[in-house]
A and B are shown apart, each in its own frame.
Chain A
Amino acid sequence: MATVSSRPARQLAMVFDLNKCLGCQSCSIACKTLWTDAPGMESMWWNIVNTMPGGGTPRDVFSHGGGYKNGEPVPGTFPPLREFGEAWGFDQEATFASGGKAAFRPLERDGSSPEWGPNWDEDMGGGQYPNSYFFYLQQICANCSKPACLEACPRTGLYRREEDGIILIDEERCHGYRFCAEACPYKRIYFNPGRAVAQKCIACYPRLEAGVAPACVRQCPGRVRHVDYMDNLEGHPYKLVHEWKVALPLRPDFGTEPNVFYVPPLAPPAFNEAGEFDETKPRIPDEYLREMFGPGVERALETIQVEREKSARGEPSELIDILIARDWNDLLGPFTANPAELDRPPRGG
């Protein structure tokens, strides 16, 4: 049985520049405080940044199946909470009782020590000194054009907004079956055990409707994130994805056609044994980048390198101007409204 979901009239798209991310998790905290601070959501990180190469969130994030192969759905699993990372407590009493000598240990709900959590293997990365490397990978729901989550649900508990392609879970219809979470190859769907419903990033759609950029975009101090409708031919996502071809989907082999794109990490060349750059050897292995971002990654990196050198010579480069984003508002597409200046009803009124 084939399920085909129709394409929306417009598609919201984002581009994350992996060369600029500081790994500060401001995006994660902005999202957490805005959307997932309610009971049952303690362990949710709709936005998360992980060091790559690394295990990711949940552990071994890209190895749990889901998505499509040759157009057919791929069976997936929904890892247990410990693999995402629980909202830990801390062993404060032991620390205080020891006069501050005992280590301040994180504790799972059952009193055991955690074995995984968000960005667990922070800054470990890959490679061997002096050719070690890492980059930060930001993940939110990618509002895929071929959404495995939506198509997996046997009771249309998810839907796609016609006006922007954002995929939402209808919590009235969701019965907590979690086929969506199994089917998402990026594992960006969480489960609220108290309410027995699936929950995920909503692309801050209430902010978008008020002309405000998503919190993760607006709060990013590194100016990493670009947002716009993909049909805006002057917008950053269109220019970076379709004109310059330097922004690529994550794990395109999953077959879900995500609408979050990544400017791949441009690393210096590898060192040779003499401690000098060997221009013929990349620091980050090509095969790893191809696995992560598909076959267009080498050309994308080449383009960025060429334009960066042009810019360094003092020549104009539209690409570098876009990526630098000297005017912060340029990142935000049509969503430049300041949330502090909106007319809103008073809280608690």
Chain B
Amino acid sequence: MTAGTLTSVTAERLGDASPQLLAPGGTQWAKVSETTVSLAPTPLDAQPSAYVQTSWAGRPYGALASVGLSAVVAGDALYLRLRWAAAEPRQAISDNDTYADACAVLFPLDGKTAELATMGDERSPVQGWHWRAGTALPFVITATGLGTVSRVPDHPVSVGAAWENGSWSVAFKRGLSEQGVPLTAGASVPLGIAVWSGANSERAGLKAHTPAWLTLTLPK
């Protein structure tokens, strides 16, 4: 793991034409460097619900301090792996009052600019890849502001997840040329990360996130 906190990450190119990178704990990921990305709780006063603001006042959330980020381009696809400590994993929604662990990566929809704190706006939407424990497929979401997240019905993103030794590892995959955020070899794209702790009933806007965009650069 790279020491310190970085705000830019360059994806590594992996020569393997048929990588097994959706096995996020697999040996191939061991060769890939990992960047520690700092997280912070989302601001409570930005939650778009008076109920949520009132019921979570004085109640900690988003306490996860950092997440490990690894990025690889292999074949014609980008793989992003997130790894974080979860001592009490919530691997599925098992009851009315239980919530599953989750994570997401977010980009400006045009790959260039959007407001992260508001999750985009009407003119500059954002798009995210969202994994929730217990589901085999990720959600691809778009948003034009807080509370506007909608799911894209058909999308090319896939995901693999594993919980081992007190940590979640979640790998997303998307073909560079496939539909969605432009992912161009040699170019950079702003990237945000969010993690929800199911054990703490975190969901919706209650999460740990990157307060500012990182920069993800794809190899040429």
Contacts and interface: CB of A to CB of B under 8 A. Distances in A.
Given A73-B54, A73-B55, A75-B55, A154 B97 contact: no
A75 B57 CA distance: 10
Contacts, number: 80
A178 B55 contact: no
B38 interface: no
A79 interface: yes
Interface string A125-155: 0000000000000000000000010011111
Which label, helix, strand, loop or mixed, suits the secondary structure of the B interface?
loop
B19 interface: no
A76 B55 contact: yes
Contacts of B45: 1
Contact of A148 (B48, B51, B149, B203): B51
Given A1-B45, A191-B96, A73 B204 contact: no
A3 interface: yes
Which label, helix, strand, loop or mixed, suits the secondary structure of the A interface?
loop
A151 B96 CA distance: 20
A306 interface: no
Nearest to B132: A196
B62 interface: no
Interface stretch (A12-20, A25-33, A94-102, A169-177): A169-177
Contacts of A177: 203-204
Contacts of B50: 1-3, 72-73, 151-152
Given A1-B45, A154-B147, A179 B52 contact: yes
B97 A155 contact: no
Interface in B31-90: 45, 47-55
A215 interface: no
Nearest to B100: A196
Q: Interface residue tally of chain B, by bracket?
A: 20 to 34
A166 to B, nearest CB: 21
A12 to B, nearest CB: 24
B143 to A, nearest CB: 10
Nearest to A77: B97
Given A78-B96, A81-B96, A182-B55, A173 B49 contact: no
A79 B97 contact: yes
Contacts of A272: none
B54 A80 contact: no
Nearest to B59: A75
9 contacts: A1-B45, A3-B51, A72-B50, A80-B95, A151-B49, A152-B49, A175-B204, A176-B93, A196-B93
Interface of B: 45, 47-55, 93-97, 146-150, 203-205
Q: Top 6 A-B pairs ranked by shortest CB distance? A: A152-B51, A75-B55, A154-B49, A73-B51, A155-B147, A177-B203
Given A72-B54, A183-B51, A196-B93, 16 more contacts: A1-B48, A1-B53, A73-B54, A76-B55, A78-B97, A79-B96, A80-B95, A80-B96, A80-B97, A151-B50, A154-B47, A154-B146, A155-B204, A156-B147, A173-B150, A177-B204
